[in-house]
Structure 1
Amino acid sequence: MKNSSKKLTKKIISGKFKGKILTLPSKTTTRSSKSIVLESFFNTLQFDIVDATFVEVFSGSGSIGLEALSRGAKQIYFMERDRDALKTLKANISLTDPSACEVFSGDSFVNIEQVVAKLKKTKTQAYFYVDPPFSIREGMEDIYSKTMQLISSLPSEIVEMVIVEHMSGLEIPKELGLFKMKKSKKFGNTTLTYLS
């Protein structure tokens, strides 16, 4: 049974930390975004995220936020509740630029208020990447309805764009709070939906 202790890893694809190897938390606690999804996302926003602020709402290993940092984003806010994932996240951040990263540990649905307050105070608009655990996981049955409420509650003055990574079967409303769907792109079981 040696295999089960083998660490899952992922490389930063591009930018100043290209090739850095990030550790992923165990598959039971988080689900890593597929490379094809990440590449499409960063191809779409590659020039927009330079010098931008980026919020990864359900961070896991932080691979998306750290990829954004590597590609020129200026400040990354990570939000994660799971203890193992937090440990991994902090170790991954230490391989890049910790001074540009801030971690909010605990429930993202609670901590979003701190992040919003911080962005309001600094009059900053951010990209919110929202990749909740799939609702088929035990205890996560209401995760999507809570996520939609979270997005709806964001004040428009702090939002550059909201990007939701979700199960392809999930219908995201055309309008959520003050935000309208701009586009949706499907990759097998996973879909990226852009709102602004």
Structure 2
Amino acid sequence: MSRIRIIGGEWRSRLIDVSTVKGLRPTPDRVRETLFNWLGQDLDGKTCLDLFAGSGALGFEAASRGAEQVTMIEQDPVAWAALQTNAKTLQAACVRIVRGDALKFARSADRRFDVVFLDPPYRAGWIERMALFLPDLLGEGGVVYVEAEYKIENIDRLTRVKQGTAGQVYYHLFAAAR
């Protein structure tokens, strides 16, 4: 097991455990810093959805910065257990961790979110499979953060508003198309 540091907010500098699950890639500090500069450092009152929670780096970072509620979806039982332990250690009352399939969750979600994080396993076609459901997960003014191993030009019914790269990681921020 390894550990990563939360970089901002209430839990700044706190370490969280990262399970050793094949293909799990915690979002690098530099990328998280850029993302939360884009989103604004203060997420007070925002609702967030982390569809492939993995290490929980994005969701815990959002909670640390004041998000009202963070829902994390994770299918792998080892990663899910580590998320549960980290939430308990941080006393993260605003974090809800769901063990399940991200696609099924997105298909049947009965609420909308201000921020959706989509950082799925690479080379598995998840972004293409999730694309149809992303716009319907967003509340008014909501955004989708997508991390991938390639540059994403567009997602149906969403407009790319920001993008960046760090090594072999391409990251993007999308908003509802106008």
Structure-2-length-normalised TM-score: 0.88
- Partner of residue 127 from structure 2, selected from 141, 144, 147: 144
Q: State the distance in 2 between where 1:181 and 1:151 align.
A: 13
Aligned mates of 1:156, 1:33 — CA distance in 2? 22
Q: Percent identity?
A: 22
The one-letter code sitting in structure 2 at the alignment partner of 1:188 is G
Contact 1:162 1:195 (C-alpha < 8 Å) held by counterparts: yes
CA 1:48–1:195: 2 relative to 1, 3 Å: farther
Corresponding position: 1:133 with 2:115: no
> What CA deviation, in whole Å up to 9, does each residue of 1:66-106 have, x standing for no partner?
11111111110101100100000111111223321111211
Q: State the distance in 2 between where 1:55 and 1:156 align.
A: 10
Which residue number corresponds to residue 108 of structure 1? 102
- Give the direction of change, closer, same or farther, for the CA distance of 1:16–1:158 in structure 2 (3 Å limit): same
CA contact 1:104–1:111 (8 Å) conserved in 2: no
Q: Residues of 2 paired with 1:106 and 1:158: CA distance?
A: 26
Match of 1:190 in 2: 169
Task: Give 1:3's aligned residue.
Answer: none
Does the C-alpha gap of structure 1 residues 150 and 11 become closer, same or farther in structure 2, counting only changes over 3 Å? same
Q: Which has the higher helix share?
A: 1
The SS at the match of 1:117 is coil
Q: Is the 8 A contact 1:57 1:129 kept in 2?
A: yes
2:148 corresponding residue in structure 1: 166
Instruction: Please report how far the alpha carbon of residue 108 of structure 1 lies from its aligned counterpart in structure 2 after TM superposition.
Output: 0.3
Partners of 1:158 and 1:97 in 2: CA distance: 29
SS at match of 1:172: coil
CA contact (8 A) 2:151 2:171 kept: no
The structure with the largest alpha-carbon Rg is 1
Aligned residue for 1:33, secondary structure, equals: coil
In the alignment, structure 2 segments of 5+ residues that lack a partner are none
Structure 2 Cα separation of the partners of residues 150 and 132 of structure 1: 15
Once residues 156 and 93 of structure 1 are traced to their aligned partners in structure 2, the CA distance between those partners, rounded to angstroms, is 24
TM-score by length of 1: 0.81
- When you count strand as a share of all residues, which structure comes out higher? 2
Of residues 111, 124, 128 in structure 2, which corresponds to 1:118? Answer: 111
Aligned-partner Cα distance in 2 for 1:145–1:73: 27
Structure 1 residues 56 and 159, CA gap change in structure 2 (3 angstroms): farther
Deviates more, 1:59-68 or 1:18-27: 18-27
- Measured in 2, the distance between the counterparts of 1:30 and 1:156 equals 26
